[in-house]
Amino acid sequence: MKQLGDGVSSMPRSGIREIMDLAWSTPGTLHLEVGEPNFDTTPHVIRAAALAADSGHTKYTPNRGTPELRSAIRQKLEQRNGLLVTPEQIVVTSGATNAILLTYLALLDPGDAVLVPDPGWPNFAMAATAMGARSVGYSLVAGNDFLPDLEALDRLCRTTPRSRILVINTPSNPTGAVFGAETLNQMVRIAASNDMYVLSDECYEEILFDGEHVSPARFDDAERVVSIFSMSKTYAMTGWRLGYLAASSELAAALAKTQEIVTACASSVSQKAAEAALSGPQGLVNERQTAYRQRRDLAVRLLDSEGLLVTEPKGAFYIMANIASCGMDSYEFCRRLVEEYHVAVAPGDAFGSRSTGMVRISLAAEDSTIAEGIARLAKAAKNWS
């Protein structure tokens, strides 16, 4: 009897989760591997969810999400992203991961190609593989602050058979790169000239240290961009599993239809929590961004002093460290780092070929944990070089 479908059988497991599981089974490990804010969800958001549950708001909602939440999202997209959309162009999802899956399901056929950033979040490629599509990496080069070579990207789009979706992620996981307006404008134009859609992952939009966040959909004249957002990072709501997307009316309708067979709808209680987060005071968002900036500066200083700094991140809450001198692949380095030094970081090889010889450090931790973790990592790198 055949046990598993070809797509899932050939899909690699997330390297981040592999190290995370090892770390959780090793008591006393410092956790710098997972991109989860160490802040708590804001009290007024929790109260809104509790009130919703107490008042019976615990049933199915429309596939697209509640009208109230989609109205709040519409206002947010206009005020903070410069995007003018109607509530009918918005679909509320069970996290941004679900929004990516819905987009792939609606747009891809087996054998189609998805162009993903390299280095890039591994789930972009994993989801494509699971449904029989192909992922093709486009290079983000460390020597250029992990920005794309636009001429090379255009050639790749033109020469990749059945190229269907171009994935853009800014601010970037794992590099912290922030793409500027002109770069994004050119990327959207490249996609359009090659008859491709754009999937824009903007989950780290509010975590910026330099420059500004620009939504690629601002340059979209042909309604090719699917803009995907998350409550997880901005509002420390990872466990609430709430994201949303904006697309053309026609595509949004297809994505809402597709959601019926995946999750039917996002959690009704989580939708009330998201409504409160978007519509309520935003002071904590700014305070946390300041905290992340301080952590970024700390990590840059410590890694630079040890000769391990790759580049200074401009956004998100990650930083890459160079461990190439150790002469081992990044998975082995990360496993040994947990077992021998009780520090967990994510292997660079999990993010693509362009981050071989690197590891990703999450800055979603206390300053003291970051400082001690980098000190142990630097000691390991010296001992293993």
Q: Are residues 88 and 173 in the same domain?
A: yes
Report the mean per-residue pLDDT for the chain.
95
Domain boundary among 252, 279, 306: 279
Q: Are residues 21 and 49 in the same domain?
A: no
Q: Are residues 164 and 251 in the same domain?
A: yes
Tens of pLDDT, residue by residue over 6-43, are: 777 666 767 788 888 888 888 999 999 989 999 999 99
Q: Are residues 287 and 143 in the same domain?
A: no
CATH at 328: 3.90.1150.10
Calculate the alpha carbon distances from 347 to 3, 122, 172, 329, 359 in Å: 29, 11, 16, 8, 5
Question: Percentage of the chain with pLDDT > 90?
Answer: 91
Q: Are residues 194 and 340 in the same domain?
A: no
Tens of pLDDT, residue by residue over 17-26, are: 888 888 888 8
Confidence of residue 357 (pLDDT cuts 50, 70, 90): very high
Tens of pLDDT, residue by residue over 112-159, are: 999 999 999 999 999 999 999 999 999 999 999 999 999 999 999 999
The whole-number pLDDT of residue 40 equals 96
Q: Are residues 227 and 88 in the same domain?
A: yes
Domain boundary among 279, 306, 322: 279
Q: Are residues 208 and 92 in the same domain?
A: yes
| Domain encompassing residue 322 | 6-41+283-384
The whole-number pLDDT of residue 9 equals 67
Domain boundary among 262, 279, 296: 279
Whether this prediction's pTM lies above 0.85 is answered by yes
The whole-number pLDDT of residue 95 equals 97
Q: Are residues 31 and 63 in the same domain?
A: no
Mean pLDDT of 230-251: 98
Min mean pLDDT across 12-26, 27-41, 270-284, 359-373 is at 12-26
Number of structural domains, the chain?
Answer: 2
Q: Are residues 78 and 201 in the same domain?
A: yes
Q: Are residues 171 and 220 in the same domain?
A: yes
Confidence of residue 227 (pLDDT cuts 50, 70, 90): very high
Cα three-residue angle 269-271-275, rounded to 5 degrees = 120
- Inside any domain, residue 1: no
Q: Are residues 254 and 315 in the same domain?
A: no
CATH at 48: 3.40.640.10
